[in-house]
Structure 1
Amino acid sequence: MLVFVFRLAYVQLIATHHISKYEIDLVEESIKQRTKKFILHSGRGYFTDRHGHSLHIDYYPSLILFPFLKEGIWPIGKVAKILNVSNEQLMDAVQNSENPILFEENNKRRKLTMDEMKKINDLKIPGVYAQYVQERVENIAPHLIGVVGENHKEVKRRYAAQVENGTISVNSGIGVSGMERSFDPFLISQGHSALAYFVDNLDRPLFGFDVRYSAPADPYHPTEVVTTIDKELQIHVTNALKEAGLINGGAVIIDAKTNDLLSLVSLPTFNINFPFDSGAKNHMVTAYTPGSVFKIVVAAAAIDLNLINKLDLFDCNQNLYGDGEEPRKLGKLTFQESFAQSCNYTFTQLANKLVRQDKLILERYATKLGLVDKVGWIGDVYRLEEVSHFPEEEIGTVIIDEQDIGDKFAIAQTAIGQKNVRVTPLAVANMLATIARGGEKKQVRAASKIKYENGTTVVEFPKQTLENRDKISPYTAMRLQELLRSVVKMEKGTAHSFLKNSPYPIAGKSGTAQKGLTKEEESHWFAGYFPANKPKYVMVIVDLNHQNGNIKTLKAYENIVEYLYKYDNKTKTKD
């Protein structure tokens, strides 16, 4: 008995907030047990696009009905008249409910007008409330925004002091991936807002029908992350990729002038309730074999070192090693024609010459073009170090082992973006933007600022240049611009047949890469910018399940360019 008495005293007086190894708060759990609560807003920060449109939640007036209404008499007819619905619809809604519910019509939450909201609240009916309520909707940018999960231990690890003083609950959701994870210290809930009432053991109201509103006395939360993406464009890109049949890959679009992210889509998408399934990988920040897109690096180095002449001809009937015939016979081509038609032989010959002069030259030029570094926005924010807009971003690699120097086969594979070459689509987009701007290197920004609930700014994310100042010259950038334009402009260019009639002239480079040990599977890239003469957009599309004859990347590219052209003209008309 003494043991039981001491144990009970310990539980009731000492361990009330942290009983068992799971650190269960008995006080908090007992309140939950005797409370019926309806959460109006979780208190966690949210994300909007550049125009202020929500990307993953909606927040609008809704009708909340409490379950005790079925046991009493209330002016149901007045509410039904305001909503223009039948009495039976309202009664059916509460009849089978054990908890507070949102009134629905046709299995969809009824959105109230401001007039309906005012009229219902003016009736002052206990258990009938018209309030702004948060609703999680389809996250149209899940790979960028990321997901939230619950983990008591992790909450305590990240926010020990706040948990101790009670400003943050161990039950708070925390960021698991994407910007939800990066910005978690600014987003984590400081307390939710709710309607609640106490019940007895039979779930009957303890104090009549007294429903109370509770919310943290904090005018600053929840916060709002203003991203740089465009919601309408994001939706269109997603649909365009699916219409083209692309199921594994994605697209990234950035502003050619500001380097702000406009859209990022990775397919397949994933269920946010299962954040670690196969679709959770963000392909746009994952390093893959780029194929002939890497020829841009070889071209930049060859231009700088004066290895080419406009009159030089390359025998593009030879294979990339120069020891046999190429199945795709192109004849003798100039350097520009070789780039436009993606002749492997030309670039493997140039790469071998370059590496003989400087074994690290391809790695150095990949660095100059921003291909091997992380290119997403990274910086210190208050006491937080290296806050990243793309926390899952991988670095690129262009590895040439010592034993590969002098091995024409190894250098040839590297020259055409195979062997050990790995780059992310985001880095490729950044490279094209660098070229389009004449060599100026910038970080890719995905958010412009974080705002408090009262509209004041918590954090601004300034535009930043890449730390590595080593870059290509304006002359080299100009020559690369000419080469990229020829891929679409020249009649035999690899993208001419698909993109020649585009409303915006396009400059870019295609690439097909073998992948896997058997090298039977391929991926296809198209990286470019437009309009070619006055760059406004940079877009990279990657199909990681490419099949010959079905170039899904170019089909989607054509669709999205046409959409942006119409969008720009519509905007000009409004202005």
Structure 2
Amino acid sequence: MENRNYRIVFLRVVLSILTLTLIFRLFYIQVIKGDFYSQKAVEQKIRSFKILERRGEIYDRNMTPFTDREYKEYIFAIPKMLTDKEKAAKVISEIAAVNCEDVLKSLKSAKDYVKYEVKFNSNNKLPIGIFKLALPQRYSQNSLARHVIGYVGEKKMGLEDTFNEILNSKREDSIAVFTDGNNTDYIKGLGVRLKTSGKEVLGVKTTLDYHIQKAVEDALDKNMVDGAAVVLDIKTGDILAMASRPNFDQNNIQAYLNSSNEEFINKAVSMYPPGSIFKIVIAAAALEYNKVNLQDTFYCSGSYDINGIVFHDYKGESHGVINMVKGFAVSCNTTFIKIGQITGAKNILEMARKFGIESDDGLPIPEQIGRLPKLSDTYGAGIGNLSIGQGDVLMTPLQAADIAATIANNGVRNVPRLVTAIVDEEGKEIEKLSQKKSYRVISEKTAKILKGMMREVVIDQEGTGKRAETTYGSAGKTGSAEVSKELNIYHAWFTGFVPFDKPKYAISIFVKNGDTGGTKAAPLFKEIAEEIMKY
């Protein structure tokens, strides 16, 4: 009897434990993991077709994207879900403006889906198995900063190339088709969704300002410029705009592969003879090393002979007796060759390197670093070419803007930078990229004098940069680098800053084969400066 009672108690305990276990399991499945299993149940009735690999975006400094800005509508069809392929082909043909027979051939293939760009909108209800989706376009006809952003495809260029591993997230967008148990038809009311995998997408945050970049590019296009323009934030060294012309279509790279028009060349970071804008460096060296003072005078006869090599002023014009300030304002070659001789090539070359010429600043895009002559090449007539920015002296438009920014920043150089951080889709900085340390190039006293000299270029009645003056007050230096004396061809330059009293932006303009700096580059400086100061 006792054994029987023991067995009954034991069975009751076991049954109680099993019942409690079952109750807990049901609670766990239905309450705790309810959403998870519901999702799994739905996923069993989903067919997914990969349509797009999501790539990280490239942003400006305010997280305004340069990429994936526009969407394009496409019409999709899933052949296995179509009951009347001929009718479907006719619908697609009308909407996509493609040959009906070609569409029908695709629908009869073994493809998971077919896709066509929507050309005409239709208000008619689409048959089951056909639907429309808007997909992001990496580049559009209005894309900005193309020489900086670059492109991605079989070949890569620009930031797209440098940060390819970071931008290439492998997140996939798929068409999620809700089907019945046979996977051959829609579940009523569910239809088609765009499904995104959960992989993290990282982007690149640049220093560029979308609105300033647009203002610069609009000005270059309006004036049909073959050249470049750069805008720097004087207080930080951030590159706010960098544009080069001629431009190219990021969606049609093949069209330019055999072109000789230099569409792929980023002229903003390519080196060219600077001409008279290099006189800024000459003046800086002369003042900083106490070789020349503002009271010293020089006689300009319109030409200057060094060992049988004759250097001429523009159109052989004679300026008479002038000091360095006046010589800078009228861009007198004779005066600055004499200043160069007094200052010495060694001091000039040292100053040029302090300003960043021949320095690799580590930009994340290909950049030429400029070129200076060897000291041995500056002996004799070589000092003449050095003093007027000709011969072996080469500089990039970015470096020209950098020099103007350094002077406007009271002699301290903020090394230019283009990218600040790796960010997630919410704009949170995942990794902050370091900037090279700032350093002093010239004394505050020398910088103040040079700022005044650059102002005279714009306001002096005979100044070469009068066309660069703005309502905010401009300062800068013109350059006309001789390309062909016989054909009277020059590269036109202007580099300077605005506003004069409280400098904010340094801007350099380069116009290839564009006449003189005062004629072509200075007005463009004014146009861009006036526009971006509105911001």
Would the TM-score normalized by the shorter structure come out above 0.5?
yes
Maintained 8 Å contact 1:258/1:463: no
Taking a change above 3 Å as real, the CA distance of residues 483 and 224 of structure 1, as seen in their structure-2 partners, is same
How much is the aligned-residue C-alpha RMSD, in angstroms? Answer: 3.5
Structure number, greater radius of gyration: 2
**CA distance, structure 1, for counterparts of residue 526 and residue 165 of structure 2:** 41
What is the match of residue 445 of structure 2? 475
The 2-side partners of 1:312 and 1:213 are apart by 75
Distance in 1, Cα, partners of 2:135 & 2:149: 24
Structure 2 partner of 1:493: 463
Map residues 414-429 of structure 1 onto 2, 5 A cutoff: 414-429=386-401
Following TM superposition, by how much is the alpha carbon of 1:196 offset from its aligned partner in structure 2, in angstroms? Answer: 7.1
Matches within 5 A, 1:69-84: 71-72=82-83
CA–CA distance in 2 between the matches of 1:427 and 1:193? Answer: 43
**2:146 paired residue number:** 142
Q: Is the 8 A contact 2:50 2:175 kept in 1?
A: yes
Match of 2:198 among 212, 217, 236: 217
| Distance of aligned partners of 1:294 and 1:528 in 2 relative to their CA distance in 1, 3 Å threshold | same
Aligned position for 1:12: none
Counterpart of 1:42 in structure 2 is 53
After TM superposition, the structure 1 = structure 2 runs for residues 431-470 of structure 1, keeping only pairs within 5 Å, are 431-453=403-425, 455-466=427-438, 469=439
**Partners of 1:234 and 1:347 in 2: how far apart?**
35
Match of 1:338 in 2: 327
Alpha-carbon distance in structure 1 between the residues aligned to 2:449 and 2:431: 40
Secondary structure (helix, strand or coil) at the match of 1:321 reads strand
Which of 240, 251, 259 does residue 262 from structure 1 map onto?
A: 240
Contact 1:259/1:443, CA 8 A, preserved across alignment: yes
Match status 1:364 vs 2:350? yes
Write out per-residue CA displacement over residues 536-574 of structure 1, whole angstroms, 9 at most, x where no aligned residue.
Answer: 111000001123699222222221122123x23xxxxxx
Taking a change above 3 Å as real, the CA distance of residues 271 and 141 of structure 1, as seen in their structure-2 partners, is same
Equivalent position to 2:520, from 547, 552, 555: 552
> 1:493-524 CA distances to partner (integer Å, 9 max, x unpaired)?
1012x134x21101100001123797853201
1:293 aligns with 2:277: yes
Alignment-derived partner of residue 532 in structure 1:
500
Q: Which runs of 5+ in 2 are unaligned?
A: 1-46, 107-113
Contact 1:70-1:91 at 8 Å conserved across structures: no
**What secondary structure does 1:546 align onto?**
coil
Structure 1 position 58 matched with structure 2 position 39: no
Measured after TM superposition, the shift of residue 231 of structure 1 is 2.0
The yes-or-no answer on 1:396 pairing with 2:365 is no
Deviation track 1:123-160 (CA, whole Å, cap 9, x = no partner) reads 99654355664453133111111111227xxxxxxxxx
Change (3 A) 1:249 1:553: same
How many percent of aligned residue pairs carry the same amino acid?
28
The Cα shift of 1:103 comes to 3.7
SS of alignment partner, residue 253 of structure 1: strand
Q: CA deviation at 1:486?
A: 0.8
Q: TM-score, normalised by structure 2?
A: 0.76
Q: How many residues align?
A: 453
Q: Which residue of 1 aligns with 2:286?
A: 302
1:451 Cα offset (Å): 1.3
AA aligned opposite 1:194:
S
Q: For residue 500 of structure 2, what is the amino acid of its counterpart?
A: A
Please name the residue that 2:167 is paired with. Answer: 187
Match of 1:101 among 113, 116, 120: 116
Mapped contact 2:230–2:397 kept (Cα < 8 A): yes
Q: Which residue of 2 aligns with 1:92?
A: 94
Offset of residue 50 of structure 1: 2.5
Partner of 1:241: 220
Q: CA shift at 1:193, angstroms?
A: 1.4
Letter in 2 for 1:559: E
Q: Which residue of 1 aligns with 2:28?
A: none
C-alpha spacing 1:230/1:549, structure 2 compared with 1 (3 Å) = closer
1:354 counterpart (335, 339, 343): 343
Compute the displacement of 1:475 (Å). 1.4
Cα 1:320/1:235, change in 2 over 3 Å: farther
Question: Aligned equivalents of 1:147 and 1:457: distance in 2?
Answer: 24
Cα offsets for 1:151-180 (capped at 9, x unmatched)? 7xxxxxxxxxxxxxxxxxxxxxxxx22111
1:505: which partner in 2? Answer: 473
Task: For structure 1, list consecutive stretches of 5 or more residues without a partner in the other structure.
Answer: 1-34, 77-87, 111-115, 152-175, 198-204, 379-387, 569-575
CA distance in 2, matches of 1:413, 1:324: 9
Q: Is residue 488–residue 495 contact of structure 1 (8 Å, CA) maintained in 2?
A: yes
Deviation at 1:238, TM superposition (A): 1.5
Q: Which amino acid aligns with 2:66?
A: L
Query: Matches of 1:420 and 1:180 in 2, distance apart?
Result: 33
Is the deviation greater in 256-265 or in 305-314? 305-314
